[in-house]
């Protein structure tokens, strides 16, 4: 049972793509939850309807939220992951999350299997923060620029004692060792900027032989191994 919350900071796009890829690679029992109050992207990318999804779940959960109810409102991505899809409208997504943040956070924390929360941009005012802080591990995705690293520093202060894993998108202009030193020695995982592979993986496409061999997917698979390791979760801070 592992719940991972993934969010980007300013200048750090790609959180949704990373979340979709992680959930697909995690295999049977994995669940992707679009918990971004600014609205979801996965339905449009994957060519899926918005219903069933987060909005229909919010309406059905007024009498109580159960694992069976959540499952009934998910859809299956081509990569094998179940997905609870958010509406593209920020107003609708925010309203859906606002009505069930606490029970959804509690339920996801108890479910069996690997759960990935896409919470969008890390913002303390976001309605997704309650869900994110209830996760076993928080992943911060960023570009290794001066601005990107500074945004990570401020988010780490806000996250306090949450178990945090840092993921840099590329190694330019600063490599992982330089970024780690700037952030007090926190380990930094690197995902290469591989536009073609990332775009395809972000649609929830099946992992064919070509896609599995790309630098992007191999690096995400390595990150998944690290996230699943108890030693990583104990070290993350």
Q: What is the pLDDT of residue 1?
A: 59
Confidence of residue 233 (pLDDT cuts 50, 70, 90): very low
Confidence of residue 158 (pLDDT cuts 50, 70, 90): confident
Task: In whole angstroms, give the CA distance from residue 99 to residue 103.
Answer: 9
What string of H, E and C letters represents the secondary structure of the chain?
CEEEEEEECCCCCCHHHHHHHHHHHHCCCCEEEECCCCCCCHHHHHCCCCCCCHHHHHHHHHHCCCHHHHHHCCEECCCCCEEECCCCCHHHHHHHHHCCHHHHHHHHHHCCCEEEEEEEECCCCCCCHHHHHCCCEEEEEECCCHHHHHHHHHHHHHHCCCCEEEEEECCCCCCHHHHHHHCCCCCEEEECCCHHHHHHHCCCCCCCHHHHHCHHHHHHHHHHHHHHCHHHHHHCC
Q: Say yes or no to pLDDT of 234 above 70.
A: no
Q: Say yes or no to pLDDT of 64 above 50.
A: yes
Query: Which pTM value belongs to this model?
Result: 0.93
- Domain 2-235: assigned CATH number: 3.40.50.300
Q: State mean pLDDT over 19-48.
A: 96
Q: What is the pLDDT of residue 99?
A: 82
Q: State mean pLDDT over 223-235.
A: 74
157: alpha, beta or left, given left = phi > 0 and alpha = psi -120 to 50? Answer: alpha
Q: What is the pLDDT of residue 90?
A: 92
Q: Quick one: which of 73, 79, 78 has its CA closest to 34?
A: 73
Task: In whole angstroms, give the CA distance from residue 167 to residue 161.
Answer: 18
Mean pLDDT of the chain: 91
Confidence of residue 87 (pLDDT cuts 50, 70, 90): very high
Q: State mean pLDDT over 21-46.
A: 95
Confidence of residue 157 (pLDDT cuts 50, 70, 90): confident
The structure tokens 């926190």 sit at 186
Q: Say yes or no to pLDDT of 121 above 90.
A: no
Task: In whole angstroms, give the CA distance from residue 60 to residue 63.
Answer: 7
Q: What is the pLDDT of residue 126?
A: 74
Confidence of residue 212 (pLDDT cuts 50, 70, 90): very high
Does residue 100 contact residue 61 with C-beta atoms inside 8 Å?
A: yes
Q: State mean pLDDT over 26-50.
A: 95
Residues 164-187 pLDDT 10s: 999 999 999 999 999 999 998 989
User: What percent of the chain has a predicted confidence (pLDDT) above 90?
Assistant: 72
Q: State mean pLDDT over 129-151.
A: 91
């Amino acid at each position: 049972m592992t719940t991972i919350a993934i969010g980007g900071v300013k200048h750090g796009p790609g959180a949704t793509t990373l979340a979709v890829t992680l959930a697909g690679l995690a295999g049977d029992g994995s669940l992707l939850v679009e918990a971004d109050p600014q609205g979801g992207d996965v339905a449009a990318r994957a060519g899926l309807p918005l219903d069933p999804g987060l909005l229909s779940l919010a309406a059905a959960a007024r009498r109580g939220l159960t694992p069976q109810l959540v499952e009934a409102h998910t859809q299956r991505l081509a990569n094998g992951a179940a997905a609870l899809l958010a509406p593209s409208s920020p107003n609708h997504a925010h309203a859906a999350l606002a009505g069930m943040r606490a029970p959804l956070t509690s339920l996801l924390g108890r479910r069996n299997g690997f759960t990935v929360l896409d919470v969008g941009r890390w913002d303390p005012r976001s309605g997704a923060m309650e869900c994110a802080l209830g996760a076993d591990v928080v992943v911060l995705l960023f570009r290794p620029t001066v601005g990107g690293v500074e945004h990570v520093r401020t988010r780490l202060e806000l996250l306090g004692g949450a178990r945090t894993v840092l993921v840099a998108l590329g190694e330019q202009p600063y490599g992982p060792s330089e970024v780690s030193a700037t952030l007090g020695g926190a380990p930094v995982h690197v995902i290469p900027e591989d536009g073609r592979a990332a775009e395809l993986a972000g649609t929830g496409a099946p992992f064919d032989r070509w896609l599995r061999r790309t630098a992007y997917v191999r690096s995400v698979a390595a990150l998944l191994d690290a996230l699943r390791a108890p030693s990583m979760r104990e070290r993350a801070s």
